[in-house]
């Protein structure tokens, strides 16, 4: 399965993506709000990649590699996954520094929210951010997600946001899904 937006293609991770993930997750600025570099060990990154593979098998989706269509550059990750503490479905994303501030986070999160509500049929999707991460909080609010609470997640104080299917206002043509047969479903 692939999910496409106007500028991006999102595809399942492969084992070959590990070196690029290790490089990105070794950058202090990229992981500042993901527990910092100390948490982003090679073992932790490999474990997260296995978790994503498990999600693909169990749910048919998970965190995907985000690739820019214009040049095929792997610029980050985004997708849906179970929130480990509650089992709720979480939308998440992260990008390499050169791609910050270009609207990619909003584009990726909107596509995954739409996919989660319209294709998977979720009634509610959540998101988690570090309180100081104003950029991510702005993206979540721009998408119509509402602040719910502060709570601990992965041992870090976080803010929790959520949106229900009936609250989400998708933009026409914001994504297309390609299944393994190559069939295209536009949204």
Collapsing DSSP to helix, strand or coil, 37 comes out as coil
Who contacts 160 (Cβ-Cβ below 8 Å, separation ≥6)?
Answer: 126, 127, 128, 147, 148, 149, 150, 151, 153
Per the model's pLDDT, the better-predicted residue between 76 and 174 turns out to be 76
Determine what percent of the chain falls in helix, strand and coil, rounding each to the nearest 5: 35, 30, 35
Note the pTM of the prediction, 2 decimals.
0.88
* Whether the Cβ atoms of residue 108 and residue 5 lie closer than 8 Å to each other: yes
- Tell whether the model's pLDDT for residue 36 goes beyond 50: no
Q: Which region among 3-7, 8-12, 53-57 has the lowest average model confidence (pLDDT)? A: 3-7
Helix (H) or strand (E) holding 108: helix 104-114
Q: Which fold has domain 2-175?
A: Aminopeptidase (3.40.630)
| CA–CA separation, 24 and 32 (whole Å) | 12
Q: Would you list the domain boundaries of the chain?
A: 2-175
Tens digit of each residue's pLDDT (9 = 90 or more) over 129-147: 989 989 999 999 999 999 9
Of the candidates 5, 4, 23, 1, which has an alpha carbon nearest to the alpha carbon of residue 13?
1
**CA atoms lying within 13 Å on the CB side of residue 18:** 14
**Tokens standing for residue 74:** 């792997």
């Amino acid at each position: 399965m692939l999910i496409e937006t106007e500028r991006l293609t999102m595809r399942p991770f492969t084992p070959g993506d590990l070196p690029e993930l290790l490089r990105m997750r070794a950058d202090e600025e990229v992981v500042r709000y993901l527990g910092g570099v100390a948490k982003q060990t090679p073992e932790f990154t490999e474990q997260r990649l296995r978790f994503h593979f498990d999600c693909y098998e169990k749910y048919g989706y998970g965190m995907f590699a985000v690739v820019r269509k214009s040049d095929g550059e792997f610029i980050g990750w985004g997708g849906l996954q179970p929130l480990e503490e509650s089992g709720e479905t979480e939308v998440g994303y992260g990008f390499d520094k050169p791609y910050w501030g270009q609207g990619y986070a909003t584009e990726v999160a909107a596509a995954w929210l739409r996919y989660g509500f319209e294709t998977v049929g979720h009634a509610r999707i959540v998101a988690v951010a570090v309180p100081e991460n104003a950029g991510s909080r702005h993206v979540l609010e721009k998408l119509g997600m509402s602040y719910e609470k502060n709570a601990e997640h992965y041992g870090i104080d976080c803010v929790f946001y959520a949106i229900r299917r009936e609250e989400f206002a998708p933009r026409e043509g914001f994504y297309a899904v390609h299944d393994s047969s190559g069939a295209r479903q536009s949204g």
